[in-house]
Structure 1
Amino acid sequence: MLMPIAALLLTYLVTLALAGLAAFVLRRPLWVLLSELCGTEERSSFWTVWSMVMMIALPLLFVSWARVETDPTELLQGTVAATLTGILMAMGGMGLAVWLRVPRADSL
């Protein structure tokens, strides 16, 4: 059994590691895509940073809402599930926003 504060800190550490990895992997491809869509480097940089913040903040929010377990197995399982849900929701929101702004072949 973990102490509640140790369990909470471990939860946030695992969440930051997973969400940070996802943000790191997506940063460059997203910047390239947003450079094309936004038209300027400044706009692209802003929206890339905003997206990375959301990619980390949403999983942290989901993990913060979850009940902190002191059993290590349940703690890890709940943390990973909440983190992946947050990452997928952030990616879904970004994907929808980009998809709505991509020019269609029939509109050219």
Structure 2
Amino acid sequence: MLAPIAALLITYALTALVATLAAAVLWRSLSILLAELCGTEERSRFWTVWSMVMMVATPMLFVSMKGIQIRAADLIQSTMTSALFGVLLALIGMGIAVWTRSPRHDA
């Protein structure tokens, strides 16, 4: 059994790790894609940073909405489920935003 404060800290640390890893993996590719779509480096940089913040903030929000588990196994399962769901929603949002603004080449 974990103390509530330890469980909370572990929850946020795991979430930050998962979300930051996802953001780091996408940073370069998204930056290149947004440079093409945005037209200027300043716009591209802004939207890349904004996307990375959302990639971290969305999982943190989902984890914050759940109650803290005291048992270690329940804590890890609950945290990973919420964190991965948050990352997935952030990716879906970014994917839709990029897809709707990408030029279409009709055959």
Counterpart of 2:11 in structure 1 is: 11
Q: Distance in 2 between matches of 1:83 and 1:48?
A: 21
Percent of matched pairs sharing the same residue: 59
Aligned-pair distance for 1:106?
2.4
Counterpart of 2:33 in structure 1 is: 33
Q: Distance in 2 between matches of 1:70 and 1:28?
A: 38
| Counterpart residue type for residue 59 of structure 1 | P
Structure 1's consecutive aligned runs of 4 or more residues displaced over 4 angstroms after TM superposition are none
Counterpart of 1:94 in structure 2 is: 94
- Where in structure 1 are there 5+ consecutive unaligned residues? none
TM-score between both structures, scaled by the size of structure 1: 0.97
Root-mean-square deviation (CA, aligned residues, Å) is 1.0
| Counterpart residue type for residue 49 of structure 1 | V
Alignment of 1:1-108 (within 5 A): 1-106=1-106
| Counterpart residue type for residue 50 of structure 2 | W
Q: Distance in 2 between matches of 1:28 and 1:105?
A: 24
| Counterpart residue type for residue 60 of structure 2 | L
TM-score between both structures, scaled by the size of structure 2: 0.98
Aligned-pair distance for 1:84?
0.2
Q: How many residues align?
A: 107
Q: Distance in 2 between matches of 1:92 and 1:81?
A: 16
Aligned-pair distance for 1:105?
1.0
